[in-house]
Structure 1
Amino acid sequence: MRCTVCAGAAGAGRGQSWAGSPGWAPEPLGLAQLRSPVGLGKAVCVLLGAAAVADVLSIAAGVHTRMLLADGLDDGFLTVDDHELTLADNMTGSAGVLQLLTFVATAVVFLVWLRRVRRNAEVFDPSAHSLRPGWAIGGWFVPVGNLWLPYRVVSGVWSASAPLDGHGRRPVVPRGLLNAWWAALVVDQLVSRGVTRYYADAETADEVIHGLDLLAATDALDLGAAVLAILVVRRVTAMQSRRVDLGPVPAVPRPLRAH
């Protein structure tokens, strides 16, 4: 899947300081410490695309197995060719392994990207954050707390990354996309746990078929969350790129003190 994240930020290489951009002069607030998330953003989008493809393959494998079992179910008895059933099981297992591999790779690169944009956002506006930078990674590993702590981190990045106007004011950026992504992610995680347990405990053919239906539904949720995550990554990185491209905002002259 082709990713168009961070368009317009050409020349800012991965790990390079944005302070070297033409026309940009560092200010005392640590602007020289900014690092471009362009390369990381592209990598995250590619991996999210791979994860989405793995979800599609998992859905296809699950539907194939479901149809095979449903067609072979006759008055409560299962009559399916062993070779076809083994092939279907192998397809489902391979799709599951691919999902696991893409998930791990995506999670690692996404966390690295999130840490970078969080550090950039700290430079843009330290007051926009309710959590310290370390929570960009740590928040995902807190039991129960990971249902909202990472959202607070990304929410702060979202606010701080909004480009300023010529007077130093920051407009309010709509959060519909951000909220939709987080809602899809939380629902997906909660539903997936219950569905996985149900499918693992299924004993009868009817229960297995129903479990496959539920697994396909959770894979569809995974797919939707991956697409929304791509859009969020693109939006945040694009906002940070524009934030820097605007250059330093002219300072408001301070009134002279009377001597």
Structure 2
Amino acid sequence: MSVARLRPPRTLGRLACALLVLVAVTDLLAVGAGYHVYREAGVLAAGTGIGATPSPRAARADHLYAAAGALQTVTWLVCALVFLVWLYRVRVNAEVFRPDGHSKARAWVIAGWVVPLANFWFPRRVVLDVWDSSGPLGTPPRHALVNLWWALWLVSTGVGPLMAGLYDSAVTAPEFRNAALQGMAADAVDIVAAVLAARLVLRLTRMQQERILAGPVFVPALG
């Protein structure tokens, strides 16, 4: 492991926060697009539109929904990359604040999100350790924000792909209507998760900035 060195996280934190807000905006657009599909399901029930001979409005609703989904994917990928870079930065800083305060090796900051099974709890543990190590000295840490964000993140990432598959496999008007409705619900959960993640990034970045500005951090000698 390389030597931990303090580096201000403010710029990365602001960028990650802005992208998380953008993720929420694209989710909101997807909710609107989903509503158009939901509304046009009446056209499908009449035997026209998506899945039959498309009417112009039904076809536009389908294309808009597909475009919104593509925009969500691109925005999410860019945001995920910046978020991971930010998380790695604050983890290294937290090692300076408290070298013995981390239960997972630094490699798990990235690997924890992609290794099956471990991705259900390792990222949360990494964030909690960074949170606890970065807080004001002598102040008991509170984990409500981290826990709520993580719970909604698990729901969002688990339900989102299922809802996309439900829409792709829809054939009848009721199936499209049901898929659009459930997709809107999944997007709503993702909006809340993104907002909570942005709040977490701001809080943790602020805590580390305050620790850095407070003065030199002395790392106790090991061994």
Give the alignment's TM-score, normalised by structure 2. 0.90
Pair 1:92–1:124, CA change in 2 (3 A): same
Q: CA RMSD in A?
A: 1.9
Does the alignment pair 1:189 with 2:183? no
Does the alignment pair 1:103 with 2:72? no
Uncovered stretches (5+) of structure 2, i.e. residues with no partner: none
Deviation at 1:128, TM superposition (A): 1.4
Distance in 1 (alpha carbons) for counterparts of 2:120 and 2:96: 26
Deviation at 1:62, TM superposition (A): 0.6
Q: Is the 8 A contact 1:69 1:78 kept in 2?
A: no
Give 1:57's match in structure 2, choosing from 25, 29, 34: 29
Instruction: Give CA-to-partner distance per residue, 1:129-156, whole Å, 9 cap, x none.
Output: 1001111111111012111111110010
Q: Which has the larger Rg?
A: 1
Deviation at 1:249, TM superposition (A): 7.4
Q: Which runs of 4+ in 1 moved over 6 A?
A: none
| 2:113 aligned counterpart, secondary structure | helix
Q: Percent identity?
A: 42
Write 1 or 2 for the structure with the bigger share of helix: 2
Distance in 1 (alpha carbons) for counterparts of 2:29 and 2:115: 31
Uncovered stretches (5+) of structure 1, i.e. residues with no partner: 1-29, 165-169, 252-259
Does the alignment pair 1:42 with 2:10? no
Q: Is the 8 A contact 2:37 2:176 kept in 1?
A: no
Distance in 2 (alpha carbons) for counterparts of 1:93 and 1:202: 14
Give 1:230's match in structure 2, choosing from 198, 201, 213: 198
Does the alignment pair 1:87 with 2:55? no
Distance in 2 (alpha carbons) for counterparts of 1:104 and 1:220: 19
Larger RCO (alpha carbons 8 Å, 6+ apart): 2
Instruction: Give CA-to-partner distance per residue, 1:20-77, whole Å, 9 cap, x none.
Output: xxxxxxxxxx78x20011110011011111111100100001101110113x255xx4
Does the alignment pair 1:152 with 2:120? no
Distance in 2 (alpha carbons) for counterparts of 1:106 and 1:119: 20
Q: Is the 8 A contact 2:97 2:217 kept in 1?
A: no
Distance in 2 (alpha carbons) for counterparts of 1:249 and 1:185: 33
Distance in 2 (alpha carbons) for counterparts of 1:144 and 1:216: 27
Distance in 2 (alpha carbons) for counterparts of 1:58 and 1:101: 13
Give the alignment's TM-score, normalised by structure 1. 0.78
Give 1:240's match in structure 2, choosing from 198, 203, 208: 208
Give 2:112's match in structure 1, choosing from 139, 147, 160: 139
